[in-house]
């Protein structure tokens, strides 16, 4: 899967870039490379929160949703920025990237007043195997 995303404001630290491509990482469900459309070297790794973080349920305000055209929760794809390190991978739950799944409009939101960490450990999901 590959999709073009257009940020309503540049993502933090990547100013002034607003046009990005979201590419699925082959063999890693829910892991994507988000890179600048005109400079693939400018990139982030992001994780589909709906797939990998089932207990993550941030509240998106109407003010945050309006510029993206999101009027229903089903329209929102929530991606969290992954930070791989030797000690393990963390994800930023305080400032996810929210994408309108139909239009590709995107924004990196900051959830002030919500108790989400900047560096949450990404823990592998366990699969139950019958005994």
User: What's residue 96's pLDDT?
Assistant: 97
> Tens digits of per-residue pLDDT, 72-122?
989 999 999 999 888 889 999 999 999 999 999 999 999 888 899 889 888
Task: Specify the pTM.
Answer: 0.90
Question: CATH number of the domain at 2-121, please?
Answer: 2.30.290.10
Mean pLDDT value across residues 2-22: 95
Average pLDDT in the chain: 91
Mean pLDDT value across residues 26-30: 91
Phi-psi region of 17 (alpha: psi -120 to 50; beta: other; left: phi over 0): beta
For residue 110 the two structure tokens come to 């900051």
CA 89 – CA 121 distance, rounded (Å): 6
- Quickly count: other Cβ atoms within 10 Å of residue 7's Cβ: 19
- 3-class DSSP assignment, residue 98: strand
């Amino acid at each position: 899967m590959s999709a073009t995303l257009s940020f309503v404001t540049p993502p933090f630290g990547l100013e002034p870039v607003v046009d990005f491509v979201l590419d699925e990482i082959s063999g890693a469900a829910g892991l994507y490379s988000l890179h600048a459309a005109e400079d693939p070297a400018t990139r982030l790794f992001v994780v589909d929160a709906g797939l990998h973080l089932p207990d993550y349920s941030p509240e998106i305000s109407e003010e945050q949703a309006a510029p993206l055209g999101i009027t229903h929760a089903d329209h929102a794809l929530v991606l969290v920025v992954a930070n791989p390190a030797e000690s393990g991978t963390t994800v930023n739950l305080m400032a996810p990237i929210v994408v309108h799944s139909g239009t590709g409009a995107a924004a990196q939101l900051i959830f002030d007043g919500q108790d989400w960490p900047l560096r949450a450990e990404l823990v592998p999901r366990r699969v139950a195997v019958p005994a």
